[in-house]
Amino acid sequence: MYRLVFLHCGDDAWADEVEAAVRHVARSTVLRDDVIVRSDLPDALADPASPVAVIYLASAAAAADPDIADSLEQARVAAFAVLPIGRHEAGLHLLLPEVIRRLNAIIWGDGAEQAVKIAQLLGLVESERKLFLSYRRNESEALALQLRRALSERGYDVFLDRFSVPPAVDFQERLDAELADKAFVLLLESASAVGSDWVQHEVSYALGHHIAVLALSLPDANPDGRFGVIDDAFRLPVEAVDLDGAGPDRLLTDDALALVLDEVELQAARQLRRRREQLLGSLSDFLFRAGARRSPLEGWALLAERDGHPAKVYLVTPRAPSARDLRAVDGLREQTRIADCVGAVVHDVADRDAERAALLGWIVDTRPLTVEALTEIGEELVP
């Protein structure tokens, strides 16, 4: 269960609005909203196993309330995530009690983007935001640039070939390495994108390596010219009325852009979570069939113990493994306090970035850490 604690003075309707928006994110990512529990602070303190987000709704009355200040201090001591939310930027710092005045607040808008941030605090949605933009340059370059800018403003690390491939670098090798590093591809499905060798390669690579693809289907992409390998459930149609301009210079209107960004937020979160669940499920099945005792750990990880083998902490990643993953699994390994425990980062994406592979090899060289492909684990554990 994920607990939402609201601290405010008389803003029940606002709290209801925030809760409803977070429940919508839960329905979109884990396909259910009953994982969200609206709680008071004492219940949250009594249930340390549940992720908690404390939401402070800013107002002059709340800032002056000593009980709210005391609750915020308790939340700080308990190391709960606390998020101040305001209606307006101007004068917001004056509406925050001293104990949270240094925290970065957000402004409540239509609720979609802000609800995703709350879901990230809870751990319901991934905080990692990496995305690959696939498009045909002579048809969709202006739109790609518009989306890159807007997604970057929402905190995404966006790969766009025009900016992201240095001179004198093997283009296809760089594309494959970047695709391996991203867990989500946004495809601009224009009239002849399906006829582009580069776009075909990007889509095929993504689907072949379990990387989620969302197609933004433009009006000139008639049904016969779409990518048949992409199910309509992962296709977002754009109508002519949603666009300003024509040809390669067309852009999304402000309203259409906001809707597309919200859909990308939810689809990326849903697909990333689904992929982690699949990886962790397959790994757990391999370990079960090998006779290992399995214990869940935080952050998409589990502890496996087999007679005659060292204990091992496995952490799954839906994209190419990184140094940050190794640091995370090393921390989990140390938390077990089991002698000779080993940490392993598990992935199923072919990583063609030689420099990153060399860095990971250097990190694990003198540490009880490994990087392992899921298929290799299956072959090793289940002959």
pLDDT of residue 176: 82
Place of tokens 């979160």: 269
pLDDT in tens, 47-76: 876 789 999 999 999 999 999 999 999 998
d(Cα 112, Cα 364) in Å, to the nearest integer? 40
Indicate if the alpha-carbon torsion angle 303, 306, 308, 309 is positive or negative. Answer: negative
d(Cα 289, Cα 223) in Å, to the nearest integer? 45
What's the mean pLDDT when you consider all of the chain? 88
pLDDT of residue 123: 74
φ, ψ (nearest 5 deg) of residue 154: -90, 10
Helix ranges (DSSP H) in the chain: 12-29, 41-46, 60-63, 66-77, 112-122, 137-153, 161-164, 171-181, 197-208, 254-289, 323-336, 354-364, 374-381
pLDDT of residue 221: 84
Q: Give mean pLDDT, residues 181-210.
A: 88
pLDDT of residue 340: 93
Structure-model confidence comparison of residues 148 and 379, the more confident one: 148
d(Cα 276, Cα 138) in Å, to the nearest integer? 35
Q: In what order do the strands lie in the sheet with 106-107?
A: 36-39, 2-7, 52-57, 81-86, 106-107
Residue 230 has pLDDT above 80, yes or no: yes
Closest CA to 160 of 187, 140, 141, 132: 132
Closest CA to 359 of 333, 320, 330: 320
d(Cα 80, Cα 50) in Å, to the nearest integer? 11
Q: Give mean pLDDT, residues 324-334.
A: 92
**How confident is residue 290, by pLDDT bands cut at 50, 70 and 90?**
very high
Domains of the chain, each with CATH number or no CATH: 2-122 (3.40.50.2300), 130-273 (3.40.50.10140), 290-381 (3.40.1350)
d(Cα 105, Cα 94) in Å, to the nearest integer? 12
Distances (CA, A) of 180 to 210, 271, 304, 317, 370: 10, 15, 27, 11, 19
pLDDT in tens, 335-374: 999 999 999 999 987 766 778 888 899 999 989 999 999 9
pLDDT of residue 169: 47
d(Cα 194, Cα 79) in Å, to the nearest integer? 50
Indicate if the alpha-carbon torsion angle 256, 190, 157, 36 is positive or negative. Answer: positive
3-class secondary-structure state, position 178: helix
